[in-house]
Structure 1
Amino acid sequence: MTSKHVAFYITGGIAAYKAAYCVREFVKHGYEVRCAMTKSAAEFVSPLTFETLCKNKVVSDLFDQNNDSQVAHIDLADWTDLAVVVPATADIIGKMANGIADDAVSTSLLATDAPVFVVPAMNEKMLTNPAVKRNLKRLKADGIEIIEPDYGFLAEGYSGKGRMKEPKEIFSYIDEKCRAEQLIDLSGEKIIVTAGGTVEPIDPVRFLTNRSSGKMGYALAENAAAFGADVTLVHGPVRLADIPGVEMVETVTADEMASEVLKRYEEADVVIMAAAVADYRPEKFYDEKVKKSDGDWNLRLVRNVDILKLLGERKTKQKLVGFAAETENLLENAQKKLTEKNVDLLVANDVSRKDVGFGSDENEVFLLFRNGAKKKISKTSKEKIAQDVLSELSSL
């Protein structure tokens, strides 16, 4: 991993001392590190500490030029393969979210086009302030990864959310992402991913849908793009931010999703059907709201198009990945779906569990292959599952 250049941006919070341990972890594991600090950060930890650890001079003054032929903050941004803001105070989060550049740290970050990880650390009341929440949401929408703080003992003497992740956890998370990027190369691949549930209208106010959040499909699309693929994400109605660098196609019904996927299918190399597509829709759509009346209402349903089966029947050069959400006989039903739908890889999970699956950030799945092989991915983040699925897919 010695080819990775990591720029650490240390800002002025009590957790600044932990940043030194973060730098030490990355240096110890072969990364080349350079640091920049705000003046407030230097009130907590001396720049000499970081210069000693990373063997490079710390950038702290926007107007301090060590080399007449280089602009220090731009040179740092150009050198960077990935940037880590740790600890990230409310101040730097606000500056990044709003494009403010008024010191060495904020200016260098504004000029950085490499991946950026932000590690917030602050009092719980600051973290939950609407302005800070809004700024964090904007950073996520801009493609910046937030490593969420923990609940724990705070500097103020009481417990709450806002405690910075431990240095070893931060290193492990970022290092794992870097290694995944090195191992998985999807450059030049055209990949379609579907995500979220579809919505089948009954009348202007009622509809049929399911509990899919779209998080799994979004994780797949985001990671596929990070690994170099040309990604189109066809999604149902979800409450998730658009992914930078990914073509976003919003649909509502199963028919709309089928249409958008099929018009791109011929040119696709890979299709990953992670969406929870409604199997049925109402036979009739009522133009006006159906008024409540005495007695029951018998709603007749008809079958929707089976998008995955249709893709399997029309498959030529494409690799096809399906998902099976089951509540019983998981492996038996998943194996049947693998065969009947003519898919190359099937991801099966038990949606009857309360701790994983729909709406959760975590899942536990089985990967089933055409040759009969099976692989279990124990409970972990959907981000990690996405990387494992893409890794297996790249080796097919």
Structure 2
Amino acid sequence: MKASLHNKNILLGVCGGIAAYKSAELLRRLQDTGANVRVVMTSGATKFITPLTFQALSGHPVHTDLLDTEAEAAMGHIELARWADLILIAPATANSIARLASGRADDLLTAIYLASNSKKAVAPAMNHVMWTAETTRENIQKLQKNGTEIFGPASGDQACGETGPGRLLEADKLISSCTQLFDTGELQGIKIMITAGPTYEPIDPVRFIGNRSSGKMGFAIAQAAIEQGAIVSLIAGPVSLNTPEHSKRTDVETALQMHQAVMNNIDGQDIFIATAAVADYRPIKPRSQKIKKTDDEFSISLTPNPDILKEVAALDNPPFTLGFAAETQNVKDYALLKLKNKKLQMIAANQVSHSEDEQDTGFNSEYNALQILWNGGEARLERCRKTQLARQLITLLAKRYHEKTTT
């Protein structure tokens, strides 16, 4: 399934060149794809086109100053860096390319660029002599070495009256290039089953045993897998999330229902990703009527739920298994134990309890950080939005999966 820019967060950086006027059309075209767009302008860009133009088109404030107290209180440069799935700088002047390549962070755009782990791309626009200058070529190579994509430039008539390479790519070509960044085809045709969200175990018709899982991580992984061409089956506990396009979704409520949905459909799956926070226990005898409050103590007898992930990993011909370990302490140790005991290929561990001064990650948060472990290796995915984290995880998973299947 081909990727799209629908619901992608794109930070559009506009630099000070005559081609800045084309960024207004680019902004509108990006929005037409369904992307969420915010605009950051350099001081030079505001001399060619006003921030008000981009504000009117985007419906959002335009960010220009690094040390704007009001902006920092609302959506500061670090928050913008975390928000973006893609930073697209178009047009990128020779000066801005040089500053990015040297690691400068003395204006808002360069600070966001340096502080972000998101995908990055620059679309150069400058005089053809500047583009072919040795210094510019060296700066472009530095950016490419650091993982920045270079879109263009095109050749043709220039504002200076000369002709040659250095024109900003047209909007349709820039959008096509952006789309391709989210479509590497790493899992083309691979069948993946993903569980997500909590389970609710009924005590009586109005009460249940549950947990704080929102399902956001699992749904983000489903979307990331679809972008890479996977055929995704999503089994979701009780969550309030939109179904990722092109996925097959099955809704369940209890652990037993999730167990049945998984085991009935696991045959033929290539990968199984268990992000769901399945309740370990359920009441033995749920009451058929609401339990009335009294002054007496009240106890509930519990029985273990089936271990879905362990059963899948123990099948005669199991899929590649990725488990999740949400822990409150000794995160790595418990995750390694789970990896070994359940005979998994990989496990993603994260801490879900924090003191008041610690960063918000895990359950019900838009952010997460993961420590990925497998037999003989590990990787750490730093805190970022779950949508971004999911893409990083899928890339790592695809690599490990292909290594295993070709060995």
Match of 1:381 among 377, 380, 385: 385
Deviations 1:135-192 (A, max 9, x none): xxxxxxxxxxxx99689799xx976869996999742756488576354521111111
Deviations 1:269-305 (A, max 9, x none): 1110000000000111101001112210011111001
Contact 1:198 1:209 in 2 (8 A): yes
Aligned partner of 1:395 in structure 2 is: 399
Aligned partner of 1:21 in structure 2 is: 14
Distance 1:240 1:312, change over 3 A: same
Residue-pair matches, total: 279
In structure 2, distance between residues paired with 1:148 and 1:288: 51
In structure 2, distance between residues paired with 1:168 and 1:263: 36
Letter in structure 2 aligned against 1:119: V
Aligned partner of 2:134 in structure 1 is: none
- The offset of 1:120, in angstroms, is 6.0
Aligned partner of 1:73 in structure 2 is: none
Contact 1:322 1:346 in 2 (8 A): yes
Aligned partner of 2:374 in structure 1 is: 369
- The offset of 1:214, in angstroms, is 0.5
Matches within 5 A, 1:77-116: 85=28, 109=32, 116=34
Deviations 1:218-260 (A, max 9, x none): 0000110111111111010112112111111110000111111
Contact 1:190 1:229 in 2 (8 A): yes
Distance 1:295 1:338, change over 3 A: same
Contact 2:12 2:37 in 1 (8 A): no
Q: Work out the percentage of aligned pairs sharing the same amino acid.
A: 32
In structure 2, distance between residues paired with 1:158 and 1:395: 43
Letter in structure 1 aligned against 2:399: S
Distance 1:19 1:198, change over 3 A: closer
Contact 1:367 1:376 in 2 (8 A): yes
Where 1:291 maps in the other structure, the secondary structure is: coil
Distance 1:23 1:277, change over 3 A: farther
- Mapped pair 1:251 → 2:252: yes
Matches within 5 A, 1:197-346: 197-314=198-315, 316-346=317-347
In structure 1, distance between residues paired with 2:189 and 2:179: 20
- The offset of 1:388, in angstroms, is 1.8
In structure 1, distance between residues paired with 2:338 and 2:398: 22
Match of 1:360 among 353, 362, 365: 365
Where 1:116 maps in the other structure, the secondary structure is: coil
Root mean square deviation of aligned Cα: 3.8
Contact 1:150 1:162 in 2 (8 A): no
Contact 2:235 2:258 in 1 (8 A): yes
Q: Unpaired segments of 5 or more residues in structure 2?
A: 6-10, 40-57, 89-112, 122-177, 401-407
- The offset of 1:212, in angstroms, is 0.4
In structure 1, distance between residues paired with 2:361 and 2:250: 27
Contact 2:361 2:368 in 1 (8 A): yes
Q: TM-score, normalised by structure 2?
A: 0.60
Contact 1:197 1:211 in 2 (8 A): yes
In structure 1, distance between residues paired with 2:300 and 2:349: 31
In structure 1, distance between residues paired with 2:217 and 2:208: 23
- The offset of 1:318, in angstroms, is 1.1
Contact 1:86 1:120 in 2 (8 A): no
- The offset of 1:384, in angstroms, is 2.0
Distance 1:180 1:336, change over 3 A: farther
- The offset of 1:85, in angstroms, is 3.7
- The offset of 1:317, in angstroms, is 4.9
Distance 1:328 1:180, change over 3 A: farther
Aligned partner of 1:36 in structure 2 is: none
Letter in structure 1 aligned against 2:14: Y
Where 2:335 maps in the other structure, the secondary structure is: helix
In structure 2, distance between residues paired with 1:277 and 1:168: 30
In structure 2, distance between residues paired with 1:301 and 1:168: 43
Contact 1:213 1:359 in 2 (8 A): yes
Where 1:216 maps in the other structure, the secondary structure is: helix
- The offset of 1:328, in angstroms, is 1.4
In structure 2, distance between residues paired with 1:232 and 1:23: 47
Deviations 1:186-223 (A, max 9, x none): 11111111110000011011000000010100000011
Matches within 5 A, 1:94-173: 109=32, 116-119=34-37, 170-171=87-88, 173=118
In structure 2, distance between residues paired with 1:193 and 1:168: 22
In structure 2, distance between residues paired with 1:20 and 1:181: 19
